[in-house]
Amino acid sequence: MTQLFSPITIRGVEFANRAWLAPMCQYSAADGIVGDWHLVTLGAYATGRAGLVLAEATGVTPEGRISPQCPGLWNDDQVQAWSRVVDFIHGQGVRAGVQLAHAGRKASTASSWNGGGHIAPADGGWVTLGPSAEGFGPLPAPKAMDQQDIDTTVQAFADAAERADRAGFDVIELHSAHGYLMHQFLSPVSNHRTDEYGGSLANRMRFPLAVVAAVREAWPVGKPLFVRISATDWVEGGWDVEQSVAYVKELERLGVDLIDTSSGGAAIDAVIPAHVNYQIDLAEQVRAQTGVLTGAVGRITEPAQAEAILREGKADVVFLARQMLRDPHWPLRAAHELGAKVRWADQMRAGASWSS
Ligand SMILES: Cc1cc2nc3c(=O)[nH]c(=O)nc-3n(C[C@H](O)[C@H](O)[C@H](O)COP(=O)(O)O)c2cc1C
């Protein structure tokens, strides 16, 4: 019995295996509405039998999008468009998740293939929001959020969670990593507030924890809630594993079921280690120090590598991003290589035997 292809049940939801799709921005929605691109690509990960197809960073408000082409969940047209994608994924017996996000001071930027730079309001962008009026690298300074902005944004996350439920999603992952809004509040690198949302760790956690509490309240009790964190900023004096452990303990208390352990994104001058397991080590530390279900992500490419991460207790599930772009049916190949049984789509079953 492989670990990678053992099912896992979280709250009322069973996942057929532990090889999950990591969220990946596609910059391919119009007015936040997903279309054929998402149906075809996310659909392929479902026919490829990922245990969870986790859709990309999805804005809870228009100004929370990373780019003007990012998807959203702030209106009912978006719900309807997502439900078409979710229905297809469910038809394959696969679970569907969405990453709810607010990009804060890193919003209003171009797609990666258009350079990722700032898009000014005059060119279809918008004025961004952040904990403090300090820009990230060359990006302009955001408006420092006042209490009303904070309350409105917390409510927007809750409303988006309710819409995600109506779209049929099984899982919400909150994006609290990579230097986006929740992480901007957490990190001393980006949060220089002097009110109750800045300074001490308890104060810096106040906004993200309010988001988590509101989402947990709006999201059905039988459905899992995940949070993606950057476990470290990779800079002296920044967010680190110790603070992450304290944060994760609070998240667990609020009903978060799994921590997806990433890193970086808050500090422009971070020096990220080059070795293959640099992020897997972070997952292992968070899991060991909190006992919360943990996902590992980053540079996982080989079936035996994924299996070893699980078998050695470094994580409970693995998320793959770039390897799934190279091979959307990676879980089918992994099952073959590890000798695990997976039910292929009827239409594709002729491919299931590698012997002829
Ligand atoms: C094209 C692309 C888009 C991404 N978009 C997101 C995103 O929307 N949300 C997120 O949390 N991470 C995003 N990431 C990061 C991945 O989820 C993942 O953490 C990272 O690529 C490391 O995993 P890998 O080595 O398997 O690619 C993106 C990565 C890629 C390559």
- Catalytic annotation present for 180: yes
Q: What is the mean pLDDT of the segment spanning 16-20?
A: 98
Q: What is the pLDDT of residue 289?
A: 98
**pTM exceeds 0.95, yes or no:** yes
Q: What is the mean pLDDT of the segment spanning 247-269?
A: 98
- 144 class by beta-carbon count within 10 Å (0-12 exposed, 13-18 middle, 19+ buried): middle
Instruction: Considering the candidates 180, 197, 247, 278, report the single residue annotated as catalytic.
Output: 180
Domains in the chain, start-ordered, CATH in brackets? Answer: 8-344 (3.20.20.70)
- Alpha carbon of 111 to ligand 1 centroid (Å): 14
- Atom from ligand 1 closest to the CA of residue 22: 17
- Alpha carbon of 179 to ligand 1 centroid (Å): 13
For every residue of 210-225, DSSP letters joined together read HHHHHHHHHS-TTS-E
Q: What is the pLDDT of residue 354?
A: 81
Q: What is the mean pLDDT of the segment spanning 312-338?
A: 98
Measured by CA distance, the residue closest to atom 11 of ligand 1 is: 23
Task: Decide: 322 in ligand 1 pocket, CB within 6 A.
Answer: yes
pLDDT digits (tens, 9 = 90+) for 108-154: 999 999 999 999 999 999 999 999 999 999 999 999 999 999 999 99
Q: What is the mean pLDDT of the segment spanning 191-198?
A: 98
- Alpha carbon of 194 to ligand 1 centroid (Å): 33
pLDDT digits (tens, 9 = 90+) for 84-102: 999 999 999 999 999 999 9
Q: What is the pLDDT of residue 121?
A: 97
Q: What is the mean pLDDT of the segment spanning 222-239?
A: 98
Q: What is the mean pLDDT of the segment spanning 193-200?
A: 98
**CA proximity to 80, closest of 20, 41, 38:** 38
pLDDT confidence band for 316 (50 / 70 / 90): very high
pLDDT confidence band for 355 (50 / 70 / 90): confident
pLDDT confidence band for 274 (50 / 70 / 90): confident
344, pLDDT greater than 90: yes
